[in-house]
Amino acid sequence: MTGTARTAAAAAPRSVVTGAAMLTGSGLSNQLGAALGALAFGPLGTSGVVAIRQLVSAAILLPVARPRLRSFTWAQWWPALLLGVVLATMNLSLYGAVDRIGLGLAVTLEFLGPLAVALCASRTRADLLLAAGAAVGVYVLLLPDASSDVLGYALGLLAACCWASYILLNRMLGGRLSGLQAPATATLVSSLLTLPITVQLIAEGRLLGWPLLLAALSGVLCSVIPYSIDVIALRWVTTRFFGVFMSINPMFAALAGVVVLGQVPAAHEWIGMAIIVAVNAVAVSRSLRGSRVARTPPDGVTPSSA
């Protein structure tokens, strides 16, 4: 093996570890922020919390990323605009689901989006088995019955479709826009789409005190940090690895629900989470044993914390 080949072989596992660490931090931040945002549902409503989240995200990311909007080509604009629509829809539908069926179940349903990405991108039988294992964990978590909240589940599934689109669009934009220009532009679009909700809250005098603080903090934890981390992490790992690894989010959501919202999962929900975590462990270990799943970052790209 040549020196170049040995270097590339060593870099591949490191890229997986780096990407996995980034995605873990992204998931923890996202679910803690979602739980804090849920505390403000009463005074602001779910759409109000989402509107403030998007506004805060844009206010922070735009000065940092400073996207050169005037120099964007159409090939850069259309996925960025679409990502903004996806972000607004994903957040509105997810928080609607959280309000109806709880944080853990809502995020579990949302995870079906990344799971679908993993299934569609699979190339081997082992990959399909991993995705199927994650699906079993999701089912055990839900155990739907006649008393299930159909609208809440539907909102969760809509969020799942949006999350799948988010993964694919972020992957596309990672190669077309440098740095944090993609998430900054997308949050600008999503904040404009939800601006009428913000204006209504101001007119009604509801943007005051702790609800505003919680919604703003949720914007940082749920939007600024995860979006920034994800767009960088997707340069270190494949879309398929991203989709499978993100199955750890239901566990983070359930833990955040326990600590912040007092939503204690039932026994079957803990079992489902254990299955999902096991799938993640196998997926990561397989990636570390072979460089096919991981890829080194492109020239000139170095990971940085958001």
- Rg of the chain in Å (alpha carbons): 19
pLDDT computed for residue 112 by the predictor: 80
Q: Are 247 and 274 in contact (CB under 8 A)?
A: no
In this structure, which amino acid lies at residue 161? C
Residue with tokens 């509107």: 51
The pLDDT value given to residue 49: 94
One pLDDT digit (tens) per residue for the chain, 306 residues: 555 444 444 455 677 788 888 888 888 998 999 999 999 999 999 999 999 999 998 998 899 888 888 888 888 889 999 999 999 999 999 999 999 988 988 888 888 887 777 677 666 788 788 888 888 887 887 776 666 788 998 999 999 999 889 888 988 887 788 777 888 899 899 999 999 999 999 999 888 889 999 999 998 898 778 877 877 887 778 777 776 777 778 888 888 999 999 988 888 878 987 888 788 777 766 665 554 444 444 333 333 333
| Nearest alpha-carbon partner for 255 in 31, 21, 25, 26 | 31
How much is the pLDDT for 284?
Answer: 63
pLDDT of residue 235: 79
What's the pTM value of the predicted model, to 2 decimals? 0.77
pLDDT of residue 146: 64
Q: Is 25 exposed, middle or buried (0-12, 13-18, 19+ CB in 10 A)?
A: middle
* Alpha-helix runs per DSSP H in the chain: 3-38, 41-65, 74-101, 103-110, 112-121, 125-142, 150-174, 181-193, 195-203, 209-219, 225-233, 239-245, 249-256, 267-289
